[in-house]
Amino acid sequence: MTDAVTATPNRWVMLVVSMLGQVAGTVFVNGAPFLIPYLHLERGLSLPEAGVIAAAPFVGVMATLVLWGLVVDRIGERATMAAGLAIVTVGATGAAFSSSLVALGVWFVVGGIGAGSANSASGRVVVGWFPVHRRGTAMGIRQTALPLGVGIAALLVPNLVRADGLRTTLLVTAAICAAATVLSAWLIVDPPRPTRAEAADRGQLANPYRRDHRLTRIHLASALLVVPQFTVWTYMLVWLIDDKGWSTFSASVLVAVTQVLGASGRIGAGWWSDRVGSRLGPMRIVAIAAAATMLALGLLSGTPLGIALIIIATAVTVADNGLAFTSVAEIGGPYWSGRAMGLQNTGQYIVSAAVPPVIGAIISGHSYGVAFAAVALCPLLAIPLVPVRGERGSHTV
């Protein structure tokens, strides 16, 4: 019975388990920005200083994503994800017992290094087990792991750190990551792929970056589009508390609720891409919507419409991720998709690591409204980069 299940696993089980691994890593990495109110308002750090601590896990992720992509191309999805999540567990535990802010930042980097494994590995699980006509929807569901993980972190981290302190908060995070490690090692089955000889006959061993510029353009566009996403994720909570006078609990509940909207947006965008047979056409439309939403938020953040606009922004600014990630995997092929997804996320995390301190400095020097409006420039620049015309023929993996 076990052999039969291993040979033909349920693709939805594979999706759920890979999602849980991504959720666990996200709770650790994206939980750090939700420490900003604690570090800023209770520990006395400036917003740029607290932003540096919040960015530390993103630095760890960014530095190793391509390496994890190479690992998953070579040894498979299950081993890669289980090993990476084990490292996240160690990082969270070490951070819990750190004796200084410097040590906290170092352990955050270590955990971030492990968290990078889930990006390529879980993406490959979805691409490998779902057919092309369902892949956009499946990847959209998989991509909800990020907003769901952020939503969990928004509820867990600021309220738990205020009630029980930093150590308890990080130990709970470590327990979540440990559970995901066990599930990944136990249940994930690596999807089938052609032998190297078969892949060579199909041209799938050739470097896709030398064939054309589609992947490079998608990477650049996605890096720009992640700026509004992480601006909203990082500063929505502290904006509600610091600028709008909300309580920590009320602000964290709203942030968590908006992450559910973001998750729905990703699923809807994936379903849309399956229906129209295009990943990149919808991605360009999302970029246009993100630019308009962030500009409106910047101009109207001081009015009652500001709350409604930031809620809309949390859904719009995340909708492109699954579309780009699926397209990158399809263009990359079975022996390059791990590295291609690693490069995709590397560009995003390089930018993500810069968002907390840079946007924090703009807020400190000007205002939240100025920062939100300035961010609208990034999706505006991304619009012409999306290679819509070169998409035909890329859905062959």
Instruction: Kindly give, in sequence order, each residue whose CB lies less than 8 Å from that of residue 197, ignoring residues fewer than 6 positions away.
Output: none
Cβ pair 316, 265 in contact under 8 A: yes
Prediction pTM value: 0.73
Query: Along the chain (397 residues), what's the average pLDDT of each consecutive run of 10 residues?
Result: 54 92 93 86 79 86 86 87 96 92 92 90 84 82 82 88 89 96 93 70 72 89 93 87 86 85 85 86 94 94 89 90 84 77 82 84 89 95 88 51
Task: State residue 191 phi and psi, 5-degree precision.
Answer: -70, 155
The per-residue pLDDT for 223 is 93
What is the spatial distance between Cα 391 and Cα 371, in angstroms, rounded to a whole number?
34
Cβ pair 31, 156 in contact under 8 A: yes
What is the spatial distance between Cα 345 and Cα 145, in angstroms, rounded to a whole number?
15
The per-residue pLDDT for 204 is 62
**DSSP code of residue 347:** H
Strands (E), 17-151: none
The per-residue pLDDT for 87 is 97
271 alpha carbon, distance to own chain's centre: 19
User: What are all long-range contacts of 382-385, with beta carbons under 8 Å and residues at least 24 apart?
Assistant: 382/220, 382/221, 382/222, 382/224, 382/225, 382/287, 383/284, 383/287, 383/288, 383/291, 385/217, 385/218, 385/220, 385/221, 385/224
Task: State residue 190 phi and psi, 5-degree precision.
Answer: -65, 130
What is the spatial distance between Cα 375 and Cα 339, in angstroms, rounded to a whole number?
29
What is the spatial distance between Cα 237 and Cα 257, in angstroms, rounded to a whole number?
12
C-alpha distances in Å from residue 315, one per residue of 33, 228, 319: 19, 11, 7
Closest of 267, 220, 22, 10 to residue 120, by C-alpha = 22
Burial of 80 (0-12, 13-18, 19+ CB in 10 A): buried
The per-residue pLDDT for 5 is 40
In sequence order, what DSSP letters do the residues of 352-369 get, joined into one string? HHHHHHHHHHHHHHS-HH
Per-residue buried b or exposed e for 312-321, using 16+ beta carbons within 10 Å of the residue's own CB = bbbbbbbbbb
Closest of 24, 57, 14 to residue 180, by C-alpha = 24
What is the spatial distance between Cα 275 and Cα 296, in angstroms, rounded to a whole number?
30
Q: Give helix 337-365 / helix 368-375 axis angle, nearest 10°.
A: 150
What is the spatial distance between Cα 160 and Cα 157, in angstroms, rounded to a whole number?
5
What count of Cα atoms within 13 Å lies in the side-chain half-sphere of residue 260? 6
What is the spatial distance between Cα 2 and Cα 342, in angstroms, rounded to a whole number?
32
Instruction: Kindly give, in sequence order, each residue whose CB lies less than 8 Å from that of residue 322, ignoring residues fewer than 6 positions away.
Output: 136, 139, 140, 142, 143, 266, 269, 270
Instruction: Kindly give, in sequence order, each residue whose CB lies less than 8 Å from that of residue 361, ignoring residues fewer than 6 positions away.
Output: 47, 48
In sequence order, what DSSP letters do the residues of 248-286 get, joined into one string? HHHHHHHHHHHHHHHHHHHHHHHHHHHHHT-SHHHHHHH
C-alpha distances in Å from residue 138, one per residue of 122, 125, 193, 229, 377: 11, 10, 18, 21, 31
Pick the CATH number of 2-190+204-390 from 3.50.50.60, 1.20.1250.20, 3.40.50.300, 1.10.3720.10: 1.20.1250.20
